[in-house]
Structures are given as structure tokens and as C-alpha cells.
Chains A and B, each alone.
Chain A
Amino acid sequence: MRTVSTSLITQTVEQLCIEACYKIGDDVKILLQKARDEEESPLGKWILQQFLDNMHISREEQLPLCQDTGMAVVFIELGREVHVTGGSLEDAVNEGVCRGYEKGYLRKSVLDPLTRKNTGDNTPAVIHLEMTEGDRIKITAAPKGFGSENMSRLAMLKPADGADGIKKFVLDTVVRAGANPCPPIIVGIGIGGTMEKAAYLAKKSLLREAGKPHPDKDIAALEQELLNKINETGIGPQGMGGRTTALAVHVETYPTHIAGLPVAVNIQCHAARHASAVI
């Protein structure tokens, strides 16, 4: 057994929240550069260039990439041989979110869903805990803006709907979202499991390096086909027309019940923020 103190977890979450909001990954940057070079719409090109400039300014001047610094989604992969000391893991994560949002001058956007009263410190986080092998903890902070989260959808399709039904639902979701999720987007799709499992898979797929195909060839082919179809809609950067509607499509699957076909589509804007650390 290896012991890890909750204060180290708090510290790590604090740093990861700030890092995720200031410094977008090179994977997204490379996809945006490629999109800018290939975009046929002059307006689209201009917008994509603004996103690249924005990334540069955000990194350089330590300003959040986007003012919607989101709700903090925190993924924890906890090794079986880790013993957490000093309090509850959940409290430690929330304390890290609270400190990170304060110290990083990030916007506090979390409130009670009914009274709409702001909690004041962007807590609580949405925490996903998974047990893994080993004696380490991997923490990933993925702040999620709601312009894109609001455009996400879930459907309990019929088995007879099959792959065609899935494709139709995904495309319909992207078209309905239009300009709202700040395209170009990354589309995270979870297929199978139960209702909540599909949603979780869709969200988790967004942590993958942007544009990296799924290791399974058939799933990778589905991703590519969906990406092409999405980019044929012409929605384009910011919904103003162009070739670049999505930068990538990520699909994750899980076995499901004989009677069902859950599909969740989690839309991620180009501000695809996540930062990880292993402690």
C-alpha cells in the first residue's frame, strides 16, 4: 500500500484546473492549423486564425482561453494499492477546484439548478472515479463549457435502428446544434451500455488525443465516416459556412442489452480543455 495525502490531491486538482483553462493541447492546435490551411471559406479561415491567435495569447498572457471556464469535470483513476489519507477524496477534489478557480481568475459558473443561486466557488465538481491497477492516482481535470454541453443529446435507439440510426442521430444532433457550440467541434459519442454508461463514454472519449483514431479498425472507420458527413453539412466555423464543422469524432462502445441501443453525443467546442497528472 502506498499512501497519498488528500492535500496532494487538492494541490494537483488546483493546478490542473488552471492549466487546462490557460493552455490548450497541441493536438487541438495542430487540427486547427490544418483546418485553417484547408478551409475554403474566407470568413471561416479568418475565424480559425482568430482561434489560433487566441490560443497563443491565452498561453502567453496567462488568460483563460474562453471566459466560460466551465463546470469542473474531474476524472480520477485510483490505483488499488493507494491508500488516501487525511480526509475524503471528494472533499479534496472540490477544495482543489475551489482554489484553482479563485487563484486562476477563472469564472465561477456553478449554481443550484432550481434556486439558481451561485455556489460562489465553482464547486461541486462532477467527479468520475475508476479503480485501476497499481499504486498511482491519475487525475484529469476537464472543465466543460455549457455552450457545447447544452447541445449534447442522448437517445435510446431500437436495435433495429442499427448503425444507420446511430449516424442519423449524430448528424441530426450536430445540425440542430448549428452555431451554438462554437464550431469547429469535437464530437464524443458513446454507444452501448445503459443510459448513463453511454453518456459517460461519450464524455470520456473527449479525453482522447484529439483526432487519434480508435484502435479498433471498424470503430475508427465509423469515426472517419461520421467526420466526413458532419463536414459535408457546411455548417462551418461558428456556423457561418465552410468545410470545418468538426475537427474530430471520437467513438467509444460498450456491450449493451439485447433490447437496446443507447447512443449519447457529447459535443465539445474547440476549447477542448483537459489536463492530467499522475501522482
Chain B
Amino acid sequence: MIKKITSPATTEEILKLSAGDMVELSGILLTGRDAAHKRMVEYLYKGIPLPFDIKNQSIYYTGPCPAPPGRIIGSCGPTTSFRMDGYTPLLLDLGLKIMIGKGQRSPEVVEAIVRNQAVYLAAAGGAGALIARCVKKAEVLAFEDLGPEAVYRLEVEKFPLIVAIDSRGSSIFESGPAQFRI
């Protein structure tokens, strides 16, 4: 069964998700990868307010291809999440609720997920064209100078995802392979 969720999501909705659940997400996502994370955290350390509010928001780790003429966005699959791990606990403590990317996270991130009742969802790495189809609107929100690494505001519909680490800290990257190891 595929669960439907919307973003921004309420804590109640997030608590209902369990590692390994298949979900379809519709709503608003902010994009951000290495350079955008670095800059966000630099702003925060310097006490400069972020040009957007991340409280209750969802971040999607992606650096899309350029949009061909007439298209909303180019291919936009997930990038490897662990490169964002150093910056993530701070953002979670500021109220970030949903992260979308691919691959495992550090123990510090898992702790921060549990502490803040957040969730980490995984998109199918390499399914960039399929995911581009789920994007209904895309506009640059901040850090435009970062090119494909700028922060975009995306409106997505039925984005296929898997609950990778749930709000209790259970991870499909541990339970899944353990079940199939011979």
C-alpha cells in the first residue's frame, strides 16, 4: 500500500510514518545541496537571518539539470545525503521536518531526527526523469548565484518515496538488508 502525504507535514502525519513505508508526497519542497547547506549554516553562525523560513519545511537534496525549453525543470533525482550530515542537526533543531535524498545518514543526524520528530525520506537515486515529471512548478527562492545548487521552491505531485529513517530512528538501511542477508 502506498501512503499519501503532503508537505509541509504536521508532526502527527510524520509520527504515522514507519521505516520501509512507500509514500507519495505532494506539496511544497525546498531544494538544497552542498553549497546551499554550507551557506545556510554560515548565515546562521553569523546571525544573519535565512532568506526563507525552514521551520516545518521539507528539503530535497538535488541539483537538477538545466530545464530544456518548455519544461518546468530538468532531470532532478536525489543526491547523496551524507554530504549534508554535518549541517543537518542544526537545521533540524530549527524546525526542519522532512529531508529527501539518497543513502544512509550519520548517527548524529538520526539523533536529531528523533529529538525533533522529523523524518528522512529516500527517493530512487537515478530516477531523475521520472521525478522531473512530478514537479509541477519550480522557482528560484534564494542563492541564485549557486546555479544548479541554488535553493528552489518546488511544487510536486505524487513524488514516489520511501521512509528511510522514521521519527523513532528506525532505518530501512539496517532492517532491510538484514532481512535479506544470506
Interface, chain A (partner B; CB < 8 A): 40-41, 43, 46-47, 50-51, 53-54, 57-58, 61-69, 105-108, 118, 145, 147, 150, 178-180, 182, 232-236, 238-243, 269-271
Contacts and interface: CB of A to CB of B under 8 A. Distances in A.
A54 B132 CA distance: 10
9 contacts: A61-B129, A64-B129, A67-B62, A105-B66, A105-B68, A234-B177, A234-B180, A238-B122, A269-B126
Contacts of A178: 103-104, 173
A88 to B, nearest CB: 29
Interface string B153-169: 00000001010100000
Nearest to B127: A54
A186 to B, nearest CB: 12
Interface residues of B, number: 45
Tell me what chain A mostly uses at the interface: helix, strand, loop, or mixed. loop
Nearest to A241: B176
B129 A46 contact: no
Contacts of B175: 241
B99 to A, nearest CB: 15
Given A179-B103, A239-B103, A241-B176, A53 B65 contact: no
Given A50-B127, A66-B126, 15 more contacts: A41-B179, A43-B20, A43-B172, A43-B176, A57-B130, A57-B133, A67-B77, A178-B103, A178-B104, A179-B102, A234-B177, A238-B122, A239-B104, A240-B162, A243-B180
B74 interface: yes
Contact of B176 (A46, A64, A67, A240): A240
B180 A63 contact: no
Contacts of B67: 105
Given A46-B22, A66-B77, A67-B65, A182 B126 contact: yes
